Amino acid sequence: MTFPWPVGSATGIGSMPGTDIAEAQRIVLGELPDLPHLPELPGRGPGADMIGRGGALLTELPIELYAGRWRVASRPGHDLRVALDFLERDLDTMTEQASSFAGTFKVQVPGPWTLAASLQLPIGGAVLRDHGAARDLAGSLADGVAAHVASVRARLPHATILLQVDEPSLPAVLAGRVPSESGYGTLRAVDVSVARSALSSVVSAAGVPVVVHCCAPGVPFALLREAGAVAVAVDLSLVADLDALGELLDGGAGLFAGVSGPSPASTVTDLWRKLGFPLSSLPAQVVVTPPCGISAPPVKVLRALRDAGRRLTDHL
């Protein structure tokens, strides 16, 4: 099997502490040379957060802040301009520092169901409560993702682009566990086929290999693979169904293994042995990552991940 990342790679999930995008990008390129990514700095405020950034990618579907939450707006306004400015500034910094990069470079976007569970309708309640609105949101996101990836490709002409789609809310969406506006109930579950179709539309629109990240219990492994993901990114400590994960990996998908603690390489190796796969396949099929975004000093964390990824090559 061949994968769109180097053997023995490590990468970040996206979110990092701090407010200086130039410094964050420099750290990522220095500490994760095999699979760097465009960092996200939510500490800068609304618009730099995952949902604000995702909203900035939507086409013909503006967003705004209301009572501290993002919602669909009637027209573009100040809040959307702030989110777009953060995104443009980050892309400019990426271009300045990585325009000659010739390896695989990763960028991240929120998925359609996490956006639908987080964005509010103008009349109140999550977009998720209105299945027609959720369908329109997925279409808007697919168009925006296509344009975003095209922009990154133009800015990094020598690189192979890898897209990470963040779907931490997907298990709750499928299980009907997303709270209603009142908080006293939950929104109805979304059918698996509907969820797969919307996610697949975004994956297809990207036109590049896609890894879907879900740092929640109950990851729907089969759905993610059927939607077109070449890999899944998970928090290994939350994975209870090893059979489902093993089936996914046996089918040729890659694993972005979210690990923490003093011995990340050992954690990944122990899992591989439990699954019964030959250790020789481990360095190519697995990328070492943090379980989710990082809040600790990034240099130390990313360096440990990079070293763990390279230690996996001892099994070749």
pLDDT exceeds 90 at position 240: yes
Least-confidence region, from 64-68, 94-98, 278-282, 296-300: 296-300
Instruction: Determine the pLDDT at residue 182.
Output: 82
pLDDT exceeds 80 at position 1: no
Position 2 in a domain: no
Length of the chain equals 316
**Average confidence score pLDDT of the chain:** 96
Instruction: Determine the pLDDT at residue 245.
Output: 98
Please provide residue 297's backbone torsions phi and psi, each rounded to the nearest 5 degrees.
-50, 120
pLDDT exceeds 90 at position 261: no
Looking only at the bridges linking them, the beta strands covering 160-166 and 210-214 are parallel
pLDDT digits (tens, 9 = 90+) for 94-132: 999 999 999 999 999 999 999 999 999 999 999 999 999
pLDDT exceeds 90 at position 257: yes
What residues contact residue 204 under an 8 Å CB cut-off, 6+ apart?
142, 228
pLDDT exceeds 80 at position 316: no
CA angle (32 as vertex; 159, 236 as ends), nearest 5: 110
Distance of CA 182 to the CA centre of its chain: 29
| Confidence at 183, pLDDT banded by 50, 70, 90 | confident
Contact 13, 258 (CB under 8 A): yes
Instruction: Determine the pLDDT at residue 10.
Output: 98
What's the mean pLDDT in 270-280?
Answer: 96
pLDDT digits (tens, 9 = 90+) for 86-103: 999 999 999 999 999 999
How far is it between the farthest Cα atoms of the chain?
A: 57
Counted domains in the chain:
1
Domain limits for position 72: 21-256
Instruction: Determine the pLDDT at residue 297.
Output: 87
pLDDT exceeds 90 at position 164: yes
Position 29 in a domain: yes
pLDDT digits (tens, 9 = 90+) for 24-67: 999 999 999 999 999 999 999 999 999 999 999 999 999 999 99
pLDDT exceeds 90 at position 272: yes
What residues contact residue 40 under an 8 Å CB cut-off, 6+ apart?
14, 15, 16, 48, 50, 53, 90, 108, 293
pTM: 0.97
Position 138 in a domain: yes
Q: What is the 3-state secondary structure (H, E, C) of the chain?
A: CCCCCCCCCECCCCECCCCCHHHHHHHHHHHCCCCCECCECHHHCCCCCHHHHHHHHCCCCCEEEECCEEEECCCCCHHHHHHHHHHHHHHHHHHHHHCCCCCEEEEEEECHHHHHHHCECCCCCEHHHCHHHHHHHHHHHHHHHHHHHHHHHHHCCCCEEEEEEECCCHHHHHHCCCECCCCCCECCCCCHHHHHHHHHHHHHHHCCCEEEEECCCCCCHHHHHHCCCCEEEEEHHHCCCHHHHHHHHHCCCEEEEECCCCCHHHHHHHHHHHHCCCHHHHHHHEEEECCCCCCCCHHHHHHHHHHHHHHHHHHC
Domain with residue 43: its CATH number is 3.20.20.210
Position 221 in a domain: yes
Contact 104, 159 (CB under 8 A): yes
Q: Which two tokens stand for residue 194?
A: 């509907």
Please provide residue 128's backbone torsions phi and psi, each rounded to the nearest 5 degrees.
-60, -30
Instruction: Determine the pLDDT at residue 13.
Output: 96
Position 315 in a domain: no
Residue 158 CB neighbours (<10 A): 11
What residues contact residue 307 under an 8 Å CB cut-off, 6+ apart?
265
